[in-house]
Amino acid sequence: MDRRTFLKIVGMGSVSMAVGCSPDPYNAPRPEKNLFSLIHAPEDMVVGRTSWYATTCRECPAGCGILAGNREGRLIKVEGNPLHPVNRGKLCMRGQAALQGVYNPDRLRSPYLKSDGGWRAITFAEAEGMLLEKTAQAAGSGDNRVRMVTEVIGDTLLQLCTETLTQYKSAPPLVFEPLGYESLKSANEIVFGVRGLPSYRMQQADLLIAFGADFLDTWLSPVEYARKFMQMHALDGGGKGRFFFVSPYQTLTGANADLWLDCRPGSEAVVALGLLREILKLGRPTGLSRKLRYQLGNTASAYDKATVSKLTGISVQDFERLTEALRRAGRPLVLGAGLGNGSSNSLQTDVAVNLLNLILDPDLSLFDFEQRHRVEVAASLFDVKETFRKFAEDPPALLLLNNVNPVYAVAGGGEIEKAISNPATYTVAFNSFMDETSVLADLIFPVRHFLETWDEYSGKQVPVSTLQPAMGRLTDSPTLGDLLLKTVDGNKRSAEGYKGHLVGRMLSRADINGELDWLKAVQQGGIHQLPEPKRYKGRAGGPAAEKIEELFSTLAEPHASGLTLAAVPTVRFFDGRGANRPWLCEIPDPITRVAWQTPVMMHPDTLKQQGLKHGESVQVKTDRGNLEAPVYLTHSVRPGMLVMGIGQGHTAYGRYAEGQGTNPLRLLPAETDPRTGGPHFVTGGVQVAKTGRKAKLANTDGSRSQHGRKIALTVGLDSLADLTKKKKSGLTMSDFPLVLPLPEGYDPKLDFYTPHQHEGYRWAMAVDMDRCIGCGACAAGCYAENNIGIVGDKQVMQGREMAWLSVERYEDPDDARQLVFLPLMCQHCDNAPCESVCPVYAPHHNKEGMNNQIYNRCIGTRFCSQNCPYKVRRFNWFSWRWPEPLELQLNPNVTVRSKGVMEKCSFCVQRIKQAHGLAKDEDRSIRDGEIVPACVQTCPTEALAFGNLMDPGSKVRKLAEDPRAYQIMGYLNTKPAVFYLKKVIQKV
């Protein structure tokens, strides 16, 4: 080889080597091009530390307060705002998933203009220009030419919208909310004279009866009511409140009832009238007018026990248990129909329920008419449909849609579709997604996400709840407020923007006095002092007797035969707006444990009658249409009932929503209820037919039965005392004692190795199953905090979901209708079976007792998972993807795992390390309650507790010493550090 050739080879070699040295071409999406150092860091940004901004959740109209965590400019986590009166620091899974609205890969980054049947991206300036031009044109063409339909928004913005529209000589905006509580509002108007939605002091009740009101799923304000429900229902001083649920299907709420009375669909009103009869019989003073009382007595007299039982399908004994409980209750509260119970009789149910409340407690002390739920401002569905129908006759020149999706969410909304796509109307959709409605619009104008805006939204009327941008903008989109201000008065107020407008309005309403108050409000997420509760001053004598009489005389016969379908809003998707959040799709439904899909829930008897099998694909048909869905066998619905969750089956709305599941709204009647104007979520005359096609359920559970094993344990309220007496000692599953994962749990007879010595702390968790309602908020919090991969439906079917914490659901061996929820995460055993089998020490026991998984060390033999009796370890079968910009949400404190690595719950070790740092800075030890893992943080019912087991005063230690405490599969002598407290079952 000559010198030249040598040099050539060396040169080529170096070049190819250098090319090969580029960052991992398989895993890294794209290397960062530029690295910047923060010479002038923003004031409140400390690198490596999360800044928390108080704002308000807008994922549903409940309006929970949230703290949005920002790390180096990126929003990485939302948590409940502990100061906020609605949610007191807690969030549901939809709130947690708000982040995936901001970072959704399908979020539009620029406005889109419809041209030649396709879409053309335009700049925001262009879009703004077009909007101004169109508004001016429309306003110039006559009265009422600019119309607006908006979701439920804060008062300030709503006023601004009204103001804007007034300026264009047009009617105020129509507030559309798919779940609008029309029936409850009408009933409140009839009985209390208030067309609104008072909130309930559920926590003060000792008996709760709900006629389908699913207050733990979606009803009004689920996080708030979950907390209040638990205050009332959790074991406290040896007793607990009682809760009856009357509905043809269970939902999460019914699954938490002491007794679920599975009445026939549409017969809730009959049960309520039966109760009215029993209560009136007692002859207590009611405060009702003589006439009304007489008339009520008359109406109710027909509903004796036998009739009620005959009409509703509830057994006489069960009904007697209900009446007996109501008779003995000191502070009963009765809640009306749920959203999904919007049958033809829901108004009667709600009215009867209101009357019951009024008779039981004429002061209505458990009602709060000051703190009314904001969602009451929504127009009834009838009005919405009527408005759109009129658009067909008299199309407005410009139609503005603010973040609404009626085309999806309204059953049989053909007129809406027509009106929006009418060429005579120029439709602008202020929406960040191409959903079913916005694809019909002429211009899609993305506005800022609620986590990027200044605003105000109070889920309840009195306290002010503020919104502030918790991060820089991802797109150049303006806020709706700014846009409106520009269109109204080009220069007057728009200079200071919507924020200025907001402050001005708050000042003028005397919510705040000056800058300092404003800053304080923004810091705290609002003004949270609740006003002194006022006593209810109702109409003397109650509502008009004639109206009541007329109402009950039209009580429709309950669906007695045939199949009935109910479409139910779910804790995961609400009205469907959650369907494009991968976390919500991936976290399985609490009852069915099915992810990504919309199964049809059916009772085993129904399956037998129809000749169907669990997991099979069926066609569900009504006279409105048909759809195909997998069958799901469950005891949580009554025979003859088909229940499907609302929210999926989108035809547009991004990659996670499109084509996943089905939309049962397509099967529902288009007519609204003639009295309330509300939608029907229940329909009779349903037919099912086998499709013959194979379906596979994307469920995450194996068996629902415990097969006689001691896993999710319950204890009778009356046998609580026995627990303390019995001290277990033995080696079998049933008599193995609770062994603390501490040196004191060492027994030379059982243990081969010497005990682990812990340095100062031994972290442990306690799960009070009596408090757990199974909502899955913890799982969502865990996904958000720990960068857990989303695998999609196909992989879930393969059994590859990555959830570190999943709320398992078991059926009671004696009664399959009684469900027990078991949040299951790594048990951080002291005698961990995973640790001993790993050849490379990837699972590692640390000095604080935790079982750490060292990702770098893991080579993926998967022996640890094989040997884990709890099967809580998760393997990265692939390198999971976070489509841009979802990866911006990743928590920088937590490693993103790549393919071939085992992972599992770490007890949020990053938070523990942070607390260590802080404690060291302050030269102290970590305080009890200072470390709050993501799951514990968000649990609405405070079912989870975390702390140091070595501290005899810690909460977790006290719970571990509770007589109800046990360890799952403790007899394996794994010495788990997660203690479960038995669920307390009471006979009612």
- Which residues of the shown chain bind another protein in the complex (CB under 8 A)? 26, 701-709, 711, 732-733, 795, 798-800, 808-810, 822, 824, 833, 836-841, 857-863, 865-867, 869-871, 873-879, 899-902, 968-969, 972
Sequence-distant (6+) residues with CB within 8 A of 924 are none
- Supply the minimum distance, in Å, between the C-beta of residue 792 and another protein: 11
Closer CB to another protein, 294 or 878, in the complex: 878
Closer CB to another protein, 6 or 878, in the complex: 878
Sequence-distant (6+) residues with CB within 8 A of 318 are 259, 261
Considering only the C-alpha atoms of the chain, give the largest distance between any 2 of them, rounded to a whole number of Å. Answer: 118
H or E element at residue 75: strand 74-80
Closer CB to another protein, 865 or 914, in the complex: 865
Q: Report the alpha-carbon distance of residue 174 to residue 377 in Å, rounded.
A: 10
| DSSP H stretches of helix in 444-580 | 480-488, 497-508, 514-524, 545-553
Kindly state the DSSP code that residue 594 receives in the 8-state scheme.
Answer: B
Closer CB to another protein, 706 or 986, in the complex: 706
- Supply the minimum distance, in Å, between the C-beta of residue 19 and another protein: 19
Q: Report the alpha-carbon distance of residue 958 to residue 175 in Å, rounded.
A: 50
- Supply the minimum distance, in Å, between the C-beta of residue 262 and another protein: 25
Three-state secondary structure readout of 965-983:
EECCCHHHCCCCCEEEECE
- Supply the minimum distance, in Å, between the C-beta of residue 707 and another protein: 5
Bridge-based pairing state of the strands 207-211 and 332-337: parallel
- Supply the minimum distance, in Å, between the C-beta of residue 346 and another protein: 36
Closer CB to another protein, 241 or 843, in the complex: 843
Q: Is 123 exposed, middle or buried (0-12, 13-18, 19+ CB in 10 A)?
A: exposed
Count CB-CB contacts under 10 A for residue 225. Answer: 24
- Supply the minimum distance, in Å, between the C-beta of residue 454 and another protein: 44
Count CB-CB contacts under 10 A for residue 685. Answer: 14
Q: Say whether the peptide bond before residue 885 is cis (omega within 30 degrees of 0).
A: yes
Assess contact for 381 and 339: CB atoms under 8 A: no
Closer CB to another protein, 770 or 811, in the complex: 811
Assess contact for 946 and 907: CB atoms under 8 A: yes
Three-state DSSP class for residue 451: helix
Closer CB to another protein, 420 or 712, in the complex: 712
Q: Report the alpha-carbon distance of residue 635 to residue 231 in Å, rounded.
A: 28
- Dihedral, CA of residue 499, residue 502, residue 506 and residue 507, to nearest 10: 60
- Supply the minimum distance, in Å, between the C-beta of residue 299 and another protein: 48
The backbone torsions φ and ψ at residue 229, rounded to the nearest 5 degrees and listed phi first, read -60, -40
- Supply the minimum distance, in Å, between the C-beta of residue 860 and another protein: 2
Count CB-CB contacts under 10 A for residue 6. Answer: 10
Closer CB to another protein, 115 or 705, in the complex: 705
- Supply the minimum distance, in Å, between the C-beta of residue 630 and another protein: 17
- Supply the minimum distance, in Å, between the C-beta of residue 770 and another protein: 19
Integer Rg of the chain from CA: 29
Q: How far is CA 219 from the centre of its chain?
A: 10
- Supply the minimum distance, in Å, between the C-beta of residue 170 and another protein: 56
Q: Report the alpha-carbon distance of residue 867 to residue 887 in Å, rounded.
A: 33
Q: Report the alpha-carbon distance of residue 381 to residue 375 in Å, rounded.
A: 13
Residue 87: CA count within 13 A, CB half-sphere = 35
Closer CB to another protein, 386 or 701, in the complex: 701
The pair of structure tokens assigned to 975 is 């010495």
- Supply the minimum distance, in Å, between the C-beta of residue 514 and another protein: 56
Closer CB to another protein, 443 or 796, in the complex: 796
- Supply the minimum distance, in Å, between the C-beta of residue 735 and another protein: 13
Q: Report the alpha-carbon distance of residue 956 to residue 741 in Å, rounded.
A: 13
For residue 525, which amino acid is it?
G
Closer CB to another protein, 461 or 827, in the complex: 827
Residue 77: strand pairing partners: 69
Kindly state the DSSP code that residue 410 receives in the 8-state scheme.
Answer: S
The pair of structure tokens assigned to 402 is 């603010």
Sequence-distant (6+) residues with CB within 8 A of 773 are 216, 226, 229, 230, 252, 256, 821, 940, 941, 943
- Supply the minimum distance, in Å, between the C-beta of residue 273 and another protein: 41
Closer CB to another protein, 528 or 862, in the complex: 862
- Supply the minimum distance, in Å, between the C-beta of residue 421 and another protein: 43
| DSSP H stretches of helix in 587-718 | 604-610
Closer CB to another protein, 508 or 703, in the complex: 703
Closer CB to another protein, 81 or 852, in the complex: 852
Closer CB to another protein, 514 or 708, in the complex: 708
